[in-house]
Structure 1
Amino acid sequence: MIIKLSPGDIKRYNWYLWRAVLSFFALFVLLLVVTYFGLFGQLPSFRDLENPKSNQASEVISADGTTVLGTYYVQNRSSVSFSQLSPNVVNALIATEDSRFYDHSGIDFRRLFTIPLLNLIGSKQGGSTITQQLAKNLFSGSQGAHNPFVRLTQKLKEWIIAVRLERRYTKQEIITMYLNTVDFGAYNTFGIKSAAHTYFNVTPDKLTPDQAAVLVGMVKGPGVYSPIRHPDRALNRRNLILGLMEKQGYLTDGQLQEFKSKPLGIDFNPMNHNEGPAPYFRAVLKQEIQKIFKNQNIVRSDGTPYDLDRDGLKIYTTIDATMQQYAEEAQREYMPQLQGQFNDQWKGVSRWKSIKNFKLLLDEGMYRSDRYKQLELQGKSEDEIRQNFDTPDSLELFTWRGDIDTLMKPIDSILYSKMMLRNALMSMDPTTGYVKAWVGGTDFEHFKYDQVKVGTRQVGSTAKPFTYAVAIENGFSPCQEVDNVPVTIDGWTPGSSPTETLPGAISLRTALAHSQNYVTAYVMNEVKPTPVMELIKKMGVTSDVPPYPSICLGVFNASVFDMTGAYSVFANHGTWTEPTFILRIEDKNGNVVYTHTPKVVQAMDAQSAYVMTYMLKGVIEDGTGSRLKYKYGLNNPIGGKTGTTQENSDGWFIGITPQLVTGVWSGCEDRDIHFRSTRLGEGANSALPIFAGFMKRVYANPALGIKKNVDFDAPKNMTITLDCNAYKQQQQGTNDVDKKLGF
């Protein structure tokens, strides 16, 4: 049945249709107006648009000014400028998300009403422009997105914000802001810079068309199109985007076929707080910055405190990325060997009988463990917790061959951890005070306690040069000879191994080279403890150093940080320059908010410092550090001092060159657990080899500028004789004159 409409009916229906359209348009305009005036929630102000809020990671940057050592973040997001973006990323994004990006002013109405047709012909684009998506990412959020009315109001906000963004920013700035805000899934990765590193281990400017297509493909669904979890989906999505790029003229047909034939080529490098170079340094650095900001009242422009995890600060440090790598490599190279020596000494030996306070050590380890704290929070009793620790469980353990999963009683894992050797290294430029390398421990994921600055240990014989330095300043000669016999000071008589005690009269240089306790005690008795303590403090040691005679043998505790800084005085003409690891801190806009100025103290005169370098070179030439020459082939001018504490609990070596001073420490978490022989536990075996491995790598790289055959500078007008034969002749001549004069 066919119904014929009269011209009047057609006119009337047309009027109904147009009235409906006009009513819808009026309602739409009304909604836009009320949204603009904030009826559905406050819109961002002009200031908000100029400074959009986002959780942006703060970057720790090495001495070269470009290498990022790591980040602090809630969202692993780092920003880049448009010039740092590969054109391939921009092209892939525009081809996929907004082909008319350069032609609209934030809202593409023509595209909005043709989306169904575009999807039918394979364009696969949504209704939102890139600018609208940016508005959503920055300001409107996604709460209530499943409520149609809430989503409508959000969409209206996005349109208004998009138009405002287009008025405030250039197209290049908008696309850069967008790429800096996108979520890329794995390990909380936000922004194209983090994504390029995480998935391809490159910077954003190096992304190829196929790599760019993979990342842009993740924009709509980082989980669905993850190249790690769903490589097949990611590959299909990549090829689809490459096809869109070809249709838009960004690729030729030949290039399209070439890139589609390639595998995904993922080089997965997820970043987290435990990974990357210098994790111990980064952890200490964060605490130091927070302390500086609090003590100096450094705040944001609105008066609120800076948040390192959200404010996108750039922290420029003194750490040399290459030297840091060499230091970590030297540790990984030698520590498995040292651990093997340690384990062999303890094979078949009862820990209960041989380790002092063994049960107490295990209990303390249990009480400090995360497992104990979690069980305590669950309301478990002490007996229940102990039963849990005595019940085998699946555990992850650190080994030098990599982490392993094993079935073990948790209490046994405490023992395993305590029998693992720890190690720390710090290297610095003695002239500037700049810290070049910082290895605070053996594995940050498992052992987070920093042993460079946070931890202190007994320093042993590395303290002896301080006593000799006071003697040199008071007119003693390194060639002066002293009988190497026991000395008692105020009832204290140091011991000395009979096999390691040199007989007869020996020079002070020889005594220091061979770490002789008796002669060191003799010198202490001559110069007295208080001047030695005062010098140690002037040289930057911040821990407690009591003015007792025994400090000459290093019975006090100090950090690797302070001891390395103290030894830099010898290499720097008697001047202590505060060890420095922060250069400056900038906010996300490049404004400098903090600059560090190191303290400088003239701790001793230049001549005495130079004489100490001469004495410390004797340690390497023919003393306790001589294996540096005969075993590791380092024959260039190097001074140093080994240190071994009571019962071999701590092994030290601090080495000095004109351009680098490096301190190394090795030992267990608890001093009661240690090597069973001095032959293996002494610093010459437990610390010196890591120094050797580090320096050999440094010297092999000329680009670092650390020259091998540079000696320490002698000051002008030297009055102290370093030639011991000449010194003896002078002494003999003085004695002859005295005899003639009747003295």
Structure 2
Amino acid sequence: MNINKVKLIKWAKRIGYGLGILLAIFIGFYSSIYFGLWGQIADSEELARLKQSQATQVLDVNNDLIGKIYVYDRQSIKYSDFPQHLIDALIATEDVRFYEHNGIDNKSLLRVFFKSILMSNDSSGGGSTITLQLAKNLFGRKDHGVFGIVINKIKESIVAKRIENLYSKEEILTLYLNTVPFPDNTYGIESASEKFFNSHTKDLTLVQSAALVGSLKANTSYNPRRYPEKSNTRKNVVIQQMEKYGYLSASEATKAKTDSITIDYQNYAPNEGLAPYFRAQIKKQLDSLLKQKKYFKPDGEMYNIYHDGLKIHTTLDNTMQRYAEAAMKEHMRDLQRQFEKAYGQNAPWLKGKHAFEAAKKRLPVYKKLKAQGLDEKAIEDSLKQEHQTDLFSWDETTVKSMSTLDSLEYYSKFLNVGLVSLDPSNGAIKAYVGGIDYGFFQFDHIVQSKRQVGSTFKPIVYTAALENGMDPCSYFPIKAITYTDVDNWRPTNAGGSEDDDMNYSLQNALSNSINTIAVKVLYETGIANVIGQAKNMGIKSNIEAVPSIALGSSNLTVLEMATAYTTYVNGSKPSNPVFITKIEDKDGNIIASYEDLHPEDNSNTAMAFSDDTRQVILEFMKATVNEGTAARLRSTYQLSNAIAGKTGTTQDNKDGWFVGIMPKLVTITWVGNDNQQIGFSSTGLGQGANSALPIFAKYIQKLNADSNYNKITKASFETPSETVLNSLDCEATSTDGFFKRLFGNNKDERKFEKKEKKKGGGIFGWLKKKDKEEQ
């Protein structure tokens, strides 16, 4: 045997041994992965019961998505919901031999090996199949150091083959499209469709499908919101691939390439998007509801609102909410500018002012530093340290370096807002605006904030008066008097009209919000009777038994006041506010029905007052809109709807209120500063008719322009009974008559002693009778 041949055989053996050793090492390495030495791999049993975290959906009354509660923004749909062009785009772009391989595409792997590794050609594409990507999406990747990429790839190949053995190709596509990550931290095609195009997956166009499939290559780079040009270029690559593999004709591809991507972005993040305050309240209610054992899963586990893909059906109306938010922003942007301009350089929120110093000492960080024993100078120095912070603005959010004290001064100037609209017939909340921006001001001004309600409490006082026997045509002198039983308290009227010698009817007094008469009506009726009336109308907060409640000194929530006012258009019964109507699991099975969630039946609620009283007070509040303090609804905003209402302004112009009552909608708006030491600089600016009423007016204007809401906007009040109309047949004012002749020499400072009156009794009831005798 020739020596060269011997050498060749030796080398062949060495190579063989070397390859054998490498193969043995690879087999050992592969086995170590397969049997879990590098972490457990999902077995067939686990894969057969795949459970992916799904976002809980919050739906409006029309089943439109208004928000989600999630760790991962994902919601699953069925294969039948995928349009064919979506499937075609995915196959053509990500895995053209998807229907031919068993999870591993050997041809693609060879192409990658030879072109990418041996020939350094980056255009060869990737060797990952849809099934391999699914395996990665389902179980993620772990850090195994320098061997990480190899170990993870082998794990994914094992899982991919198991998936192919367990599931059909349609099922794999369904799993993939329901779990694959899209831009903006979005998981699954349905969530991506709703976020970027405000559309369900089944309604996606070819161009929209191509854009979303194109983004899978690089979520950040091809984000259609952030990088529209790059997204469009990538979309055209997908279209080209579809044409290449016969999914589109040349003409179809050409047209699709020329069509641009139009984004209709919907943000469902907890702090952003539509109705964030409402969604936060829904989450609070769910946290409480789902802890009740009757709402546990069949297996005894508690439902998890972050993972179980629940569907929460609510009363909110998506469109009405948009109108309400738009109206709020339009008005508050302008009001904030006026508010700051009116104060100028003497604003109470500026450093060194009393309101600022008091707010500083309420800061948690101030209290923490104080508890550590630091003196005022050290605390001040600490609070002056600057840091980067996002700043809210009515124009746009900016980032600026500022200290805690600078930030406090900046944010202390902002007015905030609350708006709620209810269907009075059932308490369904149709619109809910808890503040000007949830991302920066998460305090909910509908249910968390209790503020003085001002003159919006007066209708309750007058309601109690009528219920306790007072005649609707009772007259009261507008003149101010001093109450010796309340530290010589002397309530007055805006504009100084308390010195007038005229007597006002109840309707005229309420529609013009006369303070002096409201207190006299309270005394005539009895404080206990007024408080009892408020409780019967659904107010649950404590109301202090003091005469100033006639002027709205009580601190109540916006939702409480809305509940009370529903009585005037709901058969004299308060409507219990309703947020959630039904809860379903991810498969549509009902977990909690309306009856489960709301066992109380409004029809069984006792009437808070008589029908006659209800009709009389409604007439009083119609006059408020037609000729009283809310007349600008007619003059300035040209609203011709059937509206009754009441304005409210509190002491030092710190709170502005407006209540708008329509036959099928009760809406309350509130405006004020969260720091209750800061009010408006003038009544002209801060009164409810100027600060709160315009939000309601702009909101109703938008509803009027939408014919879909004609049932609300064109509804009419019932015609008052003949008895009610007769009881209101009197002049708005009267002369003092016999009363003035008898007591005309008495001076303004005459004291009025508090007395408990019988129905229709007392000096003012007697005055009414004597005046009618003289007329």
TM-score (norm 2): 0.81
1:666 pairs, out of 638, 651, 671, with 671
Cα 1:223–1:665 change in 2 (3 A) is: closer
Partners of 1:364 and 1:414 in 2: CA distance: 11
Cα 1:503–1:385 change in 2 (3 A) is: same
Shift of the alpha carbon at 1:545? Answer: 1.3
Partner of 1:424: 418
2:447 pairs, out of 436, 444, 453, with 453
Partner of 1:64: 62
Comparing 75-84 with 258-267, which one deviates more in the overlay? Answer: 258-267
Matches within 5 A, 1:275-354: 275-294=272-291, 298-301=295-298, 303-349=300-346, 351=348
Cα 1:270–1:553 change in 2 (3 A) is: closer
Shift of the alpha carbon at 1:127? Answer: 4.0
Determine if contact 2:473/2:727 at 8 Å carries over to the other structure: yes
Quick one: percent identity of the two aligned structures?
36
Partner of 1:472: 466
| Alignment RMSD | 4.4
Q: Could you list the per-position Cα deviations for residues 265-286 of structure 1 after superposition, in whole angstroms to 9, with x for gaps in the alignment?
A: 6676665333211122222222
Shift of the alpha carbon at 1:520? Answer: 2.1
Shift of the alpha carbon at 1:131? Answer: 2.5
2:188 pairs, out of 159, 183, 191, with 191
Shift of the alpha carbon at 1:598? Answer: 6.5
Determine if contact 1:477/1:721 at 8 Å carries over to the other structure: no
* Structure 2 unmatched runs, 5+: 734-764
Determine if contact 1:97/1:125 at 8 Å carries over to the other structure: no
Q: Could you list the per-position Cα deviations for residues 440-493 of structure 1 after superposition, in whole angstroms to 9, with x for gaps in the alignment?
A: 111222222111111110001111111211222233332222333446667134
2:521 pairs, out of 520, 523, 531, with 523
Cα 1:269–1:612 change in 2 (3 A) is: closer
2:355 pairs, out of 354, 358, 363, with 358
Cα 1:262–1:716 change in 2 (3 A) is: closer
Shift of the alpha carbon at 1:574? Answer: 0.8
Shift of the alpha carbon at 1:410? Answer: 4.4
How many residues were matched structurally?
A: 724
Shift of the alpha carbon at 1:82? Answer: 2.9
1:680 pairs, out of 685, 704, 708, with 685
Determine if contact 1:88/1:207 at 8 Å carries over to the other structure: no
Partner of 1:630: 635
Cα 1:306–1:3 change in 2 (3 A) is: farther
Shift of the alpha carbon at 1:613? Answer: 1.4
Determine if contact 1:721/1:727 at 8 Å carries over to the other structure: no
Shift of the alpha carbon at 1:642? Answer: 0.8
Shift of the alpha carbon at 1:153? Answer: 6.1
1:249 pairs, out of 238, 246, 249, with 246
Determine if contact 2:429/2:579 at 8 Å carries over to the other structure: yes
Comparing 686-695 with 150-159, which one deviates more in the overlay? Answer: 150-159
Instruction: Please say if 1:724 is aligned against 2:716.
Output: no
Partners of 1:105 and 1:547 in 2: CA distance: 79
Partners of 2:109 and 2:388 in 1: CA distance: 56
| Partner SS for 2:431 | strand
Shift of the alpha carbon at 1:699? Answer: 1.7
Shift of the alpha carbon at 1:624? Answer: 1.3
Shift of the alpha carbon at 1:496? Answer: 1.5
Determine if contact 1:607/1:714 at 8 Å carries over to the other structure: no
Partners of 2:669 and 2:698 in 1: CA distance: 12
TM-score (norm 1): 0.84
Determine if contact 1:356/1:672 at 8 Å carries over to the other structure: no
Partners of 1:377 and 1:91 in 2: CA distance: 65
Matches within 5 A, 1:200-219: 202-219=199-216
Partner of 2:491: 495
Partners of 1:727 and 1:412 in 2: CA distance: 53
Shift of the alpha carbon at 1:513? Answer: 1.0
Partners of 1:145 and 1:247 in 2: CA distance: 39
Partner of 1:561: 559
Matches within 5 A, 1:22-171: 42=40, 44=42, 48-49=46-47, 51-66=49-64, 68-108=65-105, 116=113, 124=124, 126-139=126-139, 141-144=140-143, 148=147, 157-159=155-157, 161-166=159-164, 168-171=166-169
Instruction: Please say if 1:639 is aligned against 2:644.
Output: yes
Comparing 279-288 with 567-576, which one deviates more in the overlay? Answer: 279-288
Counterpart amino acid of residue 219 in structure 1? L
Instruction: Please say if 1:441 is aligned against 2:435.
Output: yes
Partner of 1:597: 598
Counterpart amino acid of residue 142 in structure 2? Q
Determine if contact 2:663/2:712 at 8 Å carries over to the other structure: no
Comparing 406-415 with 338-347, which one deviates more in the overlay? Answer: 406-415
Determine if contact 1:118/1:125 at 8 Å carries over to the other structure: no
Shift of the alpha carbon at 1:351? Answer: 3.6
| Partner SS for 2:419 | strand
Q: Could you list the per-position Cα deviations for residues 178-209 of structure 1 after superposition, in whole angstroms to 9, with x for gaps in the alignment?
A: 122112243x2222233345555554344444
1:697 pairs, out of 699, 702, 708, with 702
Partner of 2:476: 482
Shift of the alpha carbon at 1:714? Answer: 5.1
Q: Could you list the per-position Cα deviations for residues 524-561 of structure 1 after superposition, in whole angstroms to 9, with x for gaps in the alignment?
A: 22332223222222322232212333322211111111
Shift of the alpha carbon at 1:109? Answer: 5.6
1:507 pairs, out of 501, 505, 508, with 505
